[in-house]
Structure 1
């Protein structure tokens, strides 16, 4: 799976702009707003991946217990979605670490 860093960066910038538009003067952010938004964005993304994995596990367990409302296809689709989301998270982590290494090797 190949993830383009530029498209991820643009998507993150768009999300940051959307979140800034939703903030009023009464919700002033202390410190560096971009780092807090990134932390929130990252936390939400990881939470979403975790939720997908838990949902996949719950569906698989319910199917194994004989729940007639679930088909094997539903369980497999949930499992694949969770797997793809996890792989994307790993790729993003790798890109962030790569960028960090490049920044740390830059002369000051």
Structure 2
């Protein structure tokens, strides 16, 4: 098992393993009631996390290019991309917090 570097990816992986344990089976497989366990939602969440990661990598790449004096990279572009990456990360962090809170609420109902 590899350890994910991105904290959101780590949270997603932990939620998937907890969902698998709660469902008593493998993710994406229908349970006794016929409901799918988290296939579509997990893939949409992973796509969002990948986009956030890509935005961060792009912003860091532009910042490094600006630091090295690349003529086609302006400070304005670097700052806008850094802010986009920051807003995306903060949004992802809030979504993660809401998911964890909802998961905890559901687990407390089951007791």
TM-score interval for Structure 1 and Structure 2 normalised by the shorter chain: 0.5 to 0.7
TM-score by length of 2: 0.66
Match of 1:85 in 2: 88
Aligned length: 79
- Structure number with higher relative contact order (C-alpha < 8 Å, ≥ 6 residues apart): 1
Confirm whether residue 47 of structure 1 aligns to residue 60 of structure 2: no
Stretches of structure 1 lacking an aligned partner (at least 5 in a row): 1-29
More helix by share: 1
Extract structure 1 runs of 4+ deviating beyond 2 A.
30-34
CA deviation digits over 1:15-66, x for unaligned, max 9? xxxxxxxxxxxxxxx7245611111101100000000000000000000000
- The RMSD of aligned alpha carbons is 1.5
Stretches of structure 2 lacking an aligned partner (at least 5 in a row): 1-27, 31-35
TM-score by length of 1: 0.68
